[in-house]
Amino acid sequence: MSTDPSSSGARARKELGARLRQLRKAAGLTGRDIATATGQHVTRISRIENGRQPPTEANLRAWCTACGAEDELADLLATARAVETAYMEWARAARAGMRRLGDLHSIATYQRTSTFRIHEPGVLPGIVQTEAYQRRMLAWWYTFLDAPDDTEAVLDMRAQRTATALHPSKRIVIVLGEQALRTRRGTPEEHADQLTHLMQVSRLPFVSVGIIPADAQRQAIASIGFWIFDESAVALETPTAAIKVTRPQEVALYLSLFSQLQAEAIYGHDARRLIAEVLASL
């Protein structure tokens, strides 16, 4: 599975361009014909059809009209909007603050989701983070992204989001790399509080926490963390961008990968014993 952060969006743009090319050819039109009908340069038509440049909504409306394919417009518009949100650059989006970053990590999405499948190799996921852990992480992100500080608003939103997720009606399945336990974001005391909190959450009947030991024999490869929301979408985060995967074929691959990661993890008493070992080393 590719971990190129823009691969999903690039592939979706190419597929959208291919659909537009098919409509043009089915109508018996050349690229120059479409350029004239839509008021664009012929080179831009080529870039759109080859997925190198996204069409605007106005482009799509004119394209469908020129091809006599108005019945395709609604689906094409929905596809184009999905492509536009598949890849979000943090630096640009963070200019208005960090509270609204990542539409899959919104309270509304958490309300709709029944099952969360979460893999994090080196960081603890937000729904098990203490406030101190979150503050340490946010402080770095604000500096890194040169974003306006809206820490209190972010913490309030995250508290609501966590309360929504950690509800008995939900199912939370987490697979962590051992490094996520050992990566310390604050003082030893803060980290001890964080690991104690993780153990408490792991005892909830609707939460499963697995840990892949650092010395485990590995098969599955997941270089960055990812969240699967039910079986409909996957969210990934790199240092510079958020990626949303919604193509069913890709979501199915992430579900398969998550199952393999689960098989490599330890659970229950064994997992809590590993957490206790890390606590004792602080």
pLDDT for res 247: 75
pLDDT for res 103: 62
pLDDT for res 2: 41
Instruction: Clarify whether residues 21 and 122 are in a common domain.
Output: no
Looking at every residue in the chain, the average pLDDT score rounds to 89
Q: What is the three-class DSSP state of 121?
A: coil
Q: Which of 62, 85, 108 is the last residue of a domain?
A: 85
Q: At what angle do helices 268-280 and 188-202 cross, to 10 degrees?
A: 170
Question: For residue 175, what is the domain's CATH number?
Answer: 3.30.870.10
Residue among 276, 274, 228 nearest 125 (CA): 228
Question: Does 1 reside within a domain?
Answer: no
Question: For residue 25, what is the domain's CATH number?
Answer: 1.10.260.40
In whole angstroms, how far apart are CA 123 and each of 51, 62, 133, 182, 224? Answer: 34, 47, 10, 9, 10
Question: From the first residue on, what is the mean pLDDT of each consecutive set of 10 residues in the chain (282 residues)?
Answer: 51 86 95 92 93 89 94 82 67 71 79 97 96 95 90 93 96 98 95 97 97 94 93 88 81 95 96 96 92
Instruction: Clarify whether residues 204 and 226 are in a common domain.
Output: yes
Place of tokens 């919104």: 106
CB contact at 8 A, 88 and 60: no
CB contact at 8 A, 233 and 254: no
How many separate domains does the chain show? Answer: 2
CB contact at 8 A, 170 and 114: yes
For 126, the enclosing helix (H) or strand (E) is: none
235 pairs with which residues across the strands?
Answer: 227, 244
Range of the domain at 134: 88-280
Q: Across the beta sheet with 87-89, what order do the strands follow?
A: 87-89, 241-245, 233-237, 226-229, 115-120, 171-177, 207-212
pLDDT for res 3: 41
Give the DSSP letter of residue 117: E
pTM of the model: 0.74
Instruction: Clarify whether residues 132 and 178 are in a common domain.
Output: yes
CB contact at 8 A, 21 and 84: no
Maximum Cα interatomic distance, the chain, rounded to a whole number of Å: 73
19 pairs with which residues across the strands?
Answer: none
